[in-house]
Amino acid sequence: MINTLSGRFLVLTVIFVMLAEILIFVPSIARFREDYLLSRLERGQIASLALLADDMIGPELEAELLRNAEVFNVVLRRNEARQLILSSPMPRPIYQTYDLRDAPALVLIRDAMFRLFDSEDRIIRVIGNPVREAGLLIEISLDTRNLRLAMIDYGLRILALSAVISVFTAVLLFWAVRMLLVRPIKRVVGDIQAYAADPEDANNIINPSARVAELREAEQALQSLETQLTGALKQKERLAQLGAAVAKISHDLRNILTTAQLFTDRIELSEDPAVQRMAPKLVGSIRRAVNLCETTLAFGKAEEPAPQLDSLRFDQLVADVFEAEQLAGATQAISFVSDVPEGFALRADSEQLYRVISNLVRNAREALEGRHTQAEVRVNAIRTADAVTLTVTDTGPGLPDKARKHLFEAFHGGARKGGSGLGLAIAAELIRGHGGELTLHSSDANGTCFRIYLPQ
């Protein structure tokens, strides 16, 4: 109960109401004391006026007047003369004098609190203004016992009333909080739990219905989040199914294409001019198809193995990549230029780095096919204090805007028509495995430049 929102709200309400009542109680008890003393001054004045009206009042009647006024003596100052009107023997000396004429509020509160917590019976003198200006001032002497008992009785009644008010208010607020906040929050929690049990079911998405503005905003934000998450999960599921299907198709297609490749090797031996002219293109197309199948299968498997770092001749690696591309059918119009210094060495996995450079150079060559001027692919390497920066640049037409947005995402970043986008995704993954980064440095009408950063 206490650990619930409504339970804590109930306890806090009781505490705050009681604190408020205490703040009200202190000036109230001071006001009660002042009224009590003023009433005794008034009674004393009435008794003194009765004596002034009849000088023949006897000692017994005088004592009765003092008992009714609950005072020991009354002093009335009239016409600058201080006159003891009524008096009786006092059991103790006067302890303190209190002047109620224009007394500050803080002084009244201080005196009231002192009197409330002082359990000793004392005789005090009280000075005040006579009622209806029947003199200059009036003084009385009285015992504090009845005053303190009256203050305690008044304080207990105030505290009892405060307790009733606080409990009643807390109960009302408790039920109000349960109806307006706790029940809607529990309903939202139930909706969240139902959605968590099956997030792919769109029927479990929360439907905002709270009347409280802040809670309704939270429900609307939760609805938007659940809608996006459900859509993303469905898309992931479709991509997973598509990936499994593509992997199966690629596996079977690779076997078929491998068989076809064996036949094309024999076709190249034909002496027919037409066959000799068409055979290289057919061989290149089949080779690219086999490579695509192998790449798709490799991407569908687990993550790439950790790179085996070793020192390698990067200039020789670039030469091997250029030679492979030229054998793959690069036209004479495309020139491959290596700006790598002779003997340039770096630490990397030779097989993985070959795949990365080969992919970038192949993409550059395919972008330059059909161009007859300034068709060039250039590889550069620069060494700094603790890293190596490699660049692959071409003079092609640049990447389209759509390709740049998802350049390194699988099945999204294909830079050419018919491309799968797997090559750059795998290349970026391999470079990340080296602790480096593959980025698109620039791409415009003058060409495209990819930059590789490898720590050493």
- Looking at residue 302, what is its pLDDT? 47
Helix (H, G, I), strand (E, B) or coil at 333: coil
Helix (H, G, I), strand (E, B) or coil at 328: coil
User: Is residue 290 a contact partner of residue 260, using CB atoms and an 8 Å limit?
Assistant: no
Helix (H, G, I), strand (E, B) or coil at 342: coil
- Integer Cα distance of 324 and 234 in angstroms: 42
User: Is residue 254 a contact partner of residue 293, using CB atoms and an 8 Å limit?
Assistant: yes
Domains of the chain, residue spans = 5-171, 304-455
**Is beta strand 81-87 parallel, antiparallel or unpaired with respect to 345-348?**
unpaired
- Integer Cα distance of 137 and 130 in angstroms: 6
- Looking at residue 392, what is its pLDDT? 96
User: Is residue 361 a contact partner of residue 377, using CB atoms and an 8 Å limit?
Assistant: yes
- Integer Cα distance of 314 and 345 in angstroms: 6
- Looking at residue 13, what is its pLDDT? 78
> Across-strand partners of 94?
123
Residue 325 Cα distances to 266, 395, 452, angstroms? 22, 17, 20
Helix (H, G, I), strand (E, B) or coil at 142: strand
- Looking at residue 418, what is its pLDDT? 45
- Looking at residue 406, what is its pLDDT? 75
3-state secondary structure 399-432: CCHHHHHCCCCCCCCCCCCCCCCHHHHHHHHHHH
pLDDT tens per residue across all 456 residues of the chain: 566 766 777 777 778 877 877 788 889 999 999 999 999 888 888 877 766 655 556 677 777 777 888 888 888 786 665 565 667 787 889 999 999 988 899 999 999 999 999 889 899 999 998 877 666 788 889 999 999 999 999 989 988 887 788 788 878 878 887 787 778 888 888 888 888 888 878 888 888 887 778 888 888 898 898 888 888 887 777 667 666 666 666 656 666 666 666 666 667 666 677 666 666 666 666 766 666 666 666 655 545 678 889 999 999 999 999 988 887 666 677 889 999 999 999 999 998 999 999 999 988 988 887 776 778 999 999 999 899 999 999 998 888 887 787 788 766 545 554 455 677 888 998 999 999 999 999 998 888 999 999 998
Closest CA to 300 of 239, 233, 351, 244: 244
Could you tell me the fold of the domain covering 304-455?
Heat Shock Protein 90 (3.30.565)
Closest CA to 300 of 360, 249, 358: 249
- Integer Cα distance of 447 and 445 in angstroms: 6
The secondary structure of 148-199 as a DSSP string is HHHHHHHHHHHHHHHHHHHHHHHHHHHHHHIIIIIHHHHHHHHHHHHHHH-T
- Integer Cα distance of 181 and 211 in angstroms: 10
- Integer Cα distance of 63 and 87 in angstroms: 8
- Looking at residue 69, what is its pLDDT? 80
